[in-house]
Amino acid sequence: MALYSVITGSGSYLPTHIVTNEAFHGTTFLDKDGSGFPKSSEEIVERFEQITTIKERRYVTDDLLCSDIATIAAKAAIADAGINVEDIHHIIVAHNWGDIKSDNNRSDQVPTIASRVKHNLGIENPDCIPYDLPFGCPGWVQGLIHANYFLRAGDGTCALVIGAETLSRVVDPHDRDKMLYADGAGAVILQARESDSPVGIVTYKTRSDTKDHAYLLWQQKSFNPDMPDDELYLKMNGHTLYKYALGHVPEVVKHTIDQAGIGLGDISKVLIHQANAKMDEAILQRLFKLYHSKDVPAQLMPLTVGWLGNSSVATVPTLYDLIMKGQLEGQHMSPGDWIIIASVGAGMNINSIVYKMP
């Protein structure tokens, strides 16, 4: 018998405010030097949709913070798992900006978001340890890897792993990239389980390339020189990031598949971070090419980016929960299925998990 970590419950929060691409018509988009573009905002928005497939995204309402939506997703996961909150030994919250109010884009992370979630859940157990994990978009997947280490080492039997972000509050109102970003939260309960055969998290790998790629995502002042210099916004070198992801994500995923002793044909689902549908499709095609195959099965990689946008650490756990709750048409995961859980983002960081459905 060996000890494995399995997901026993999931939950998510999709913000109620839906923002369509038409909402950006009339926006004054500026280039990085502060100059305007020759094309109209309508043309820019249309081209953006063609490249990314994003038609709409979700923003939190003014009354909600990152810790609030993290708590909502956590409660749903706890209810789904049917556990007592006092039995949770670890709370790991992946995020990158903490709590940001609707009228102030300063980051608030003291106490930690995980501590706030523990407080919101009313957990008294002093042996339940909450901490935050800022790791770019791969933060939630890395949280699973961290929790797996704890559980398999015998440090507790239950972990709550959350990904939550309110990116709508850190985007430059004059940057075209702002149309990529969205808000949301997803959570899972991970529990230790003894098994004679592999189940749950089977293999994993993380890669980090900071020497040349640390600043493909960063923060700086607005492209609009008239805006305050002390307000910082999320920025991205999208072209170089695309090349980096296409060059390295397939290698990391292949490593975990090979390490698990299975073949590409054994994989039932690829749950990958979603910033750009065309980039994800290119990554999947490159992965198949590494196995000398061109036949990518339909429905292998479910996508939500077209209607949920890029919610950073929340994209993968939200995707997992929607499938498990039967809310994505034509998508399901069954016991015995082999699943890839992967992400890429700021750092630059990449991670991948081979997960066998219990």
Supply the CATH number for residue 12's domain. 3.40.47.10
The pLDDT, as a whole number, for residue 229 is 83
Q: Residues 256-310: pLDDT tens digits? A: 999 999 999 999 999 999 998 999 999 999 999 999 998 899 899 999 999 999 9
3-state DSSP of 29-84:
CECCCCCECCCCHHHHHHHHHHHHCCCEEEECCCCCCHHHHHHHHHHHHHHHHCCC
What's the rounded Cα separation, in Å, for the pair 169 and 178?
10
Same domain, 189 and 297: no
pTM value > 0.85? yes
Strand partners, 98: none
Which portions of the chain are predicted below pLDDT 70? Answer: none
- Note whether 205 and 156 are same-domain residues: no
Q: Total domain count for the chain?
A: 2
CA–CA distance, 185 with 166 (Å, rounded to integer)? 9
* pLDDT for position 278: 92
Which structure tokens are listed for 222?
A: 């607005």
Query: Residue 234's domain spans which residues?
Result: 200-356
Question: How does pLDDT run across 116-142, given as a tens digit for each residue?
Answer: 999 999 999 999 999 999 999 999 999
Q: Does residue 177 sit in the same domain as residue 236?
A: no
Distance in angstroms (rounded) separating the CA atoms of residues 193 and 78: 17
319 and 278 belong to one structural domain:
yes
Crossing angle of helices 41-52/277-290, nearest 10°? 30
Question: Can you tell me the distance from the alpha carbon of 78 to that of 66, in angstroms, rounded to the nearest whole number?
Answer: 18
Whether 185 and 90 share a structural domain? yes
Contact by Cβ (8 Å): 191, 5: yes
Please check whether residues 205 and 167 belong to one and the same domain. no
